[in-house]
Amino acid sequence: MSNANREIIALVSAQRVIMKKSKSPSARQEAKSGSSSAIAAALADWFNAHGRDYPWRRTTDPYAILVSEMMLQQTQISTVLDRGYYQRWMERFPTLQSLADADETSVLRTWEGLGYYRRSRFLHQLAKVTVAEHGGLFPQDRETVRALPGIGAYTCGAVLSFAFNQPEPIVDGNIARVLSRLFNEPTPVDSTAGQKLLWERAKVLLSRAESPRCHNSAIMELGQTICRTGQPDCLRCPVKRWCLATEPAKLPVKDKKTVLTDVTERVYFHHARKGVLLQQETGKRRTGLWKLPTLPDALPELPPVLHRCSYGITRYKVTLWVHDFDGKPQHENSRFVPLSELKDLPMPSPYRRALTAVLALSDFHLAN
């Protein structure tokens, strides 16, 4: 055997030993963990090349960024943009001052369709507080921002990092998924321990980034586009070299599973010469919005049905029945509203659609 062949055999044997050692958990952990700096740099490079263009990324105005963050809570980007909610809001209330000066009815009407109306009320309250206590200028220190109405840890970090490039970490659903997979973390993300781990790791990664604004945008977008729910697109992932996940589709782990509860809502349509009878809501979820009045419980039989539809909200699947009933106002917040004024009243989307459908009817009833 020649010396050249002996050298080749020796090299192959050495490589096999290295590969065998690398299969051990400790060796794989060490090989893949990399450094926070390398991960942050890879994220920045990827985002600079592939980051999506959104209106709130073209500005450093904290108010414009805050509006986007509030709208995107519990709502998809496509809904906020494609249906024009963000644009309409910014055209109607371009500044904190203009929002502070607005009445609640116009605020709720402009928000209509996005649901979770507390978000719009928080924005309205925040604008008033900012104008009254901060001269209309959005504060830049964490403690003051957290004291504003409706501002939690995530929203605070988002506005301070995106608007002012401050090193404030953020953790939302997308980022939680990325971090859980990156570190192959089995701790449930909806537990106290899981949340603590996520925020600590987000903080460490951010501390290695050159631009907090770029880093937070990058890791969030990674979760939206590549490290998505279900099976991620690992081949295109910019941080796959350091990812420890062995079964990424099974992460993140959650303790609580959402169970949908069926709910039935029965309301009625009463149209007189004075207009349509409506009732203003007083509950926490839809305070100030108008709806068709609730059908009284003590009726001997259900009146004819004009419309039926279903909609979802949080953990509820609601079936909405609209009955034909000439009932008198049952609530002190009820009144007849002229048809010409209906478009100006804030109304939950399911009721707006139901009322529109009923008004378009001729004279037919559905079976109960």
* 199, pLDDT greater than 50: yes
| Overall residue count recorded for the chain in this entry | 368
Q: Which of 29-43, 94-108, 195-209, 277-291 has the lowest mean pLDDT?
A: 29-43
Cα–Cα distance measured from residue 177 to residue 193, given in angstroms and rounded to the nearest whole number = 15
Cα–Cα distance measured from residue 64 to residue 70, given in angstroms and rounded to the nearest whole number = 10
Please tell me the predicted confidence (pLDDT) of residue 123: 98
Return the domain boundaries, the chain. Answer: 31-250, 261-359
CA distances from 368 to 86, 262, 298, 357 (A): 40, 17, 17, 17
Cα–Cα distance measured from residue 51 to residue 17, given in angstroms and rounded to the nearest whole number = 41
List, in order, residues 6 or more apart from 32 with CB less than 8 Å away.
241, 242, 243, 244
Instruction: Give the tens place of pLDDT for each residue, 32-65.
Output: 444 899 999 999 999 999 999 999 999 999 999 9
Give the pLDDT band (50/70/90) at residue 8.
very low
Placement of tokens 């369709």 in the chain? 113
* 28, pLDDT greater than 70: no
> Do the Cβ atoms of 66 and 159 come closer than 8 Å?
yes
Instruction: Give the tens place of pLDDT for each residue, 93-106.
Output: 999 999 999 999 99
Torsion of CA 212, 215, 219, 225, to 10 degrees: 120
- Which CATH code fits 261-359? 3.90.79.10
This prediction's pTM: 0.84
Please tell me the predicted confidence (pLDDT) of residue 188: 97
Q: Which residues are catalytic?
A: 69
Q: What is the mean pLDDT of the chain?
A: 89
Give backbone dihedrals phi and psi of 276, rounded to 5 degrees, phi first. Answer: -100, 135
Mean of the pLDDT values across residues 112-120? Answer: 94
Instruction: Give the tens place of pLDDT for each residue, 292-304.
Output: 999 998 899 999 9
* 259, pLDDT greater than 90: no
> Do the Cβ atoms of 286 and 341 come closer than 8 Å?
no
Give the pLDDT band (50/70/90) at residue 367.
low
> Do the Cβ atoms of 208 and 37 come closer than 8 Å?
yes
Please tell me the predicted confidence (pLDDT) of residue 33: 42
Whether the bond between 293 and the residue before it is cis, its omega within 30 degrees of 0, is: no
Q: For the chain, what percent of residues have pLDDT higher than 90?
A: 81
CA distances from 292 to 121, 322, 330 (A): 22, 8, 11
- Which CATH code fits 31-250? 1.10.340.30
